[in-house]
Structure 1
């Protein structure tokens, strides 16, 4: 399959992530978590969200073990930030990501608004070392995609088109999933980039000897074809 070209009619991105920007991103707080955080045990997470810039603002999203059994974790969201950027139907997100190596790590790039509107650009768990989880929770579709380029510590390129009629995912310039459902023409949502830590219900919790984990987002841009 031929690699996709640049998004139609969009030579410049409408959003280029600067994770250190306090205008673009809010750190350590998300309404995708109960009461905005800092914890979310019902979702099988050991997270304790922190605002500390060393956990997210460099583009390296970190988690460190706490004495109470939870993990201080990095999360950034455009929700509540001064700019309040939202992805819209038809937008195309491109990102370059270094996957984590440690068991229990749960990185993701996803969207959220008003209790839902979630589309997962990707989720990953190193206990399934070659598998990416791609989900449109707005319309109930998902794919578990296996690839030899997906591996702990490896770099991958992601691209997701939030189509009104079909959400389409690419991995390393190859289309891997078109869900045929889409998000609807009026859909819009905020971006979240974070590293969660598994509590053990669906994926193993961190090994006892692990005290820190991380993954990196080297680039994240959003294009708006025709915009």
Structure 2
């Protein structure tokens, strides 16, 4: 018998579980996405050492525009990394309270890889749809930085090279996460009614303070986002 979803995982009364799609990611599109720059990094980038990242953001389309997000070791010890954001793009999509994000992701295998889908605006408004670190191979991280909640979720379906389906509901009163169609975390705090933020898809590289840095012989790493969309309830 299938257990009912917890109350926090249900949409408001009268709203469908799968509302209309308002955004389908086309990573090749410069009108949707800006590459290699984000104000989530000091000065817009390209580096962010205070977050324990070895990143050196690049706009080179080979690092992000195919939906495969790459990182390659540089001679100076940093890594050229791929990042896309809707901030500053022509369309300027912001995710809003009440939206649902869905994505399919292939997790990386290399130690030091730090993939994430997350949100950012005006120095904060960060919700982590997911983060992953291969030194904890069976664990995904889900975090609401707006209201200070998080979950470290262990699952047998999670591991290096695994494909996972992610779904996040940015509720005013609760942010809810699903993994492979199953509810895994309802934070009961939400983002507030007026919340909105830009999307970021990125592959960072850990410097070693919080998670293992890359092995000396590793020169490249990658993860893939095969699709990403945003649904928005009609009012």
Would you call these one fold, judging by a TM-score over 0.5?
yes
Specify the alignment match of 1:89 in structure 2: 97
**1:1-227 map, 5 Å:** 1=3, 8=16, 12-226=20-234
CA contact (8 A) 1:162 1:182 kept: yes
CA contact (8 A) 1:9 1:226 kept: no
Q: How far is 1:10 from its partner?
A: 5.5
Q: How far is 1:225 from its partner?
A: 1.3
Count of aligned residue pairs for this structure pair: 227
Q: Which runs of 5+ in 1 are unaligned?
A: none
Q: Which runs of 5+ in 2 are unaligned?
A: none
CA contact (8 A) 2:54 2:206 kept: yes
Q: C-alpha distance in 2, partners of 1:2/1:195? A: 35
> Per the alignment, in what secondary structure is the counterpart of residue 120 of structure 1?
strand
> Per the alignment, in what secondary structure is the counterpart of residue 114 of structure 1?
coil
**TM-score under structure 2 length normalisation:** 0.94
Q: C-alpha distance in 1, partners of 2:46/2:91? A: 22
CA contact (8 A) 2:10 2:17 kept: no
Q: C-alpha distance in 1, partners of 2:60/2:108? A: 20
Q: How far is 1:8 from its partner?
A: 1.5
Q: C-alpha distance in 2, partners of 1:12/1:134? A: 24
Q: How far is 1:12 from its partner?
A: 3.4
